[in-house]
Amino acid sequence: MDTRDAAHSSTLNAMAVGAECVLDTLAETADALAVWDLSEPPPLLSQAPSASRFVEVRELGRGGLGVVHEAFDRDLRRFLALKRARADRLRVADIGALVKEAQVTAQLDHPNIPSVHSLGIDAQGQPYFTMTMVRGRSLAQILAERSQGAEFPLPRLLRIFLHIGYAVAFAHSKGVLHRDLEPDNVMVGEFGEVRLMDWGLAKILGREDAETGKPSIDVSEPGGETRPGSISGTLGYAPPEQLKGASDIDERADVYALGATLYEMVSGRKPVLGGSLVECMLKTIEGQIPPISEFVPVSKPLAAIIHRALQTERENRYPTVLAFIEDVEALLEGRSVRTLEESVLAKAGRFYMSRSPRLARLRFIDIDCVAWGCYLLGMATVAFITAGSVLWAWVMAVAGALFCAPFFYAMGRRQRADDPGVIIPFSDGLSSSQRHSNLEGANKVSAQEQHSEVPGPNSGESA
């Protein structure tokens, strides 16, 4: 009984000591809170208004609605891109479009779409938002330099195109159409980053998330619908239905714009060129797109992929961007594309000549050895039947093999890793003058065709 009482007494003493320690800690915390004014920001952060947190360095570019500056974040000590409305576009609709762009882009969390960091009001009461800045060049700049002879392999361009397609396909999965796809709106970083920019003309389809049942994209003022009589997009890339001001455009509008972008990446020119804005619009609506093979040597599968995406009637295009980029991936990997039926012999040739560079090094061990062995055996058999001598038969076989050796060597040389004909079954054998001539028509296009918004005949505003 005395032992039990002693145990209870020891437990009570320990609990009392613990409670005393807790009370001491709470008292110290209360004293600290009394000294520290929680209304003041930590001393290491800027105490100026949020807009003054960013120091604008230089202008990076401007579009139809906004202007983008390089800015320095004083708090996080990093450079980023800051976008605000242009001084001549401060209508309520323009400011709402800027806010919507920030909200839509922020909710499209994808590696090929820039991340939005903040949305705020500057000292003049105008909205702005900040996003990731990509140090590099636009795809339009790369294509212009390439047309002047700069080295930029076509396989690398097609890999960039796939990244663009991934971003658009992800946006479509969230119920968002870009509606302004063009090389100027694609940034390529110094270390391979690819970002699809400028979602100011994005249209929200109102698709619901499968798990939550709520809208995939939530904005302050839902909208983005194309009003009858208004036109949005960039001439040369916008599909016919978008130029007609249709209000029921869907994912296939972006498929067309991606096809126009791929056309330019391969050929060095837009699919539609005209001396005036009206001429360019009419050619697009009527489907007057010249075959890409008129400007560059291109394989049938690649030409079929591009021209299917550029069909005038959207029912004839790829149904989704995913189907589009799957065919481009198949082309890169040497597989047959779905949009073009190939013969068995053509498929066998594609499989043989389009292996990856690592597997290509084994071709001499597997396929080439089998082919060469069958050839030697055949020559020896013919020579033996003709001459009746085994020695003479093998002499003729070896002589024939040496005669054909350059051919087999040339076939093996096609398996170099830097040969576009290996991974991509078409040639990019254009001289600088040929590439430059492809852009002569583009240089005649008026500056109006480069504008990202074209007012319609019945409306003074763009969608």
3-state secondary structure the chain: CHHHHHHHHHHHHHHHHHHHHHHHHHHHHHHHHHHCCCCCCCCCCCCCCHHHHEEEEEEEEECCCEEEEEEEECCCCEEEEEEEECCCCCCHHHHHHHHHHHHHHHHCCCCCCCCEEEEEECCCCCEEEEECCCCEEEHHHHHHHHHCCCCCCHHHHHHHHHHHHHHHHHHHHCCEECCCCCHHHEEEECCCCEEECCCCCCEECCCECCCCCCECCCCCCCCCCCCCCCEECCCCCCCHHHHCCCCCCCHHHHHHHHHHHHHHHHHCCCCCCCCCHHHHHHHHHHCCCCCHHHCCCCCHHHHHHHHHHCCCCHHHCCCCHHHHHHHHHHHHCCCCCCCCCCCHHHHHHHHHHCCCHHHHCCCCCCHHHHHHHHHHHHHHHHHHHHHCCHHHHHHHHHHHHHHHHHHHHHHHHCCCCCCHHHHCCCCCCCCHHHHHHHCHHHHCCCHHHHCCEECCCCCCCCC
Type of residue numbered 426: F
Alpha-carbon gap, residue 302 to 293, rounded angstroms: 10
Q: How do 136-138 and 66-73 pair as beta strands?
A: unpaired
**How large is the C-alpha radius of gyration of the chain?**
32
Query: What is the tens place of the pLDDT at every residue in 5-32?
Result: 665 566 556 556 555 654 554 455 455 4
Query: What is the tens place of the pLDDT at every residue in 122-170?
Result: 888 888 999 999 899 999 999 999 989 888 888 899 999 999 999 999 9
Position 367 scores a pLDDT of 54
Give the side-chain half-sphere CA count within 13 A for 190.
Answer: 4
Type of residue numbered 11: T
What pairs with residue 83 in β-bridges? 68, 129
Position 126 scores a pLDDT of 84
Give the side-chain half-sphere CA count within 13 A for 74.
Answer: 14
**Which CATH class, in words, describes the domain spanning 50-131?**
alpha beta
Residues of the chain with pLDDT under 50: 1, 22, 25-26, 29, 32-48, 221-229, 357-358, 360-365, 413-463
Alpha-carbon gap, residue 335 to 317, rounded angstroms: 21
**Which CATH class, in words, describes the domain spanning 139-348+432-454?**
mainly alpha
Position 63 scores a pLDDT of 77
Position 292 scores a pLDDT of 94
Alpha-carbon gap, residue 247 to 139, rounded angstroms: 29
pTM: 0.68
3 burial (CB, 10 Å; 0-12 / 13-18 / 19+) is: exposed
Alpha-carbon gap, residue 385 to 373, rounded angstroms: 18
Type of residue numbered 130: T
Domain ranges, ordered by start, for the chain = 50-131, 139-348+432-454, 362-414
Alpha-carbon gap, residue 181 to 232, rounded angstroms: 11
- CA-closest candidate to residue 84, choices 95, 75, 92, 73: 95
Q: Tokens 């090929």 correspond to what residue?
A: 112
First-last CA distance in the chain? 89
Position 39 scores a pLDDT of 47
237 burial (CB, 10 Å; 0-12 / 13-18 / 19+) is: buried
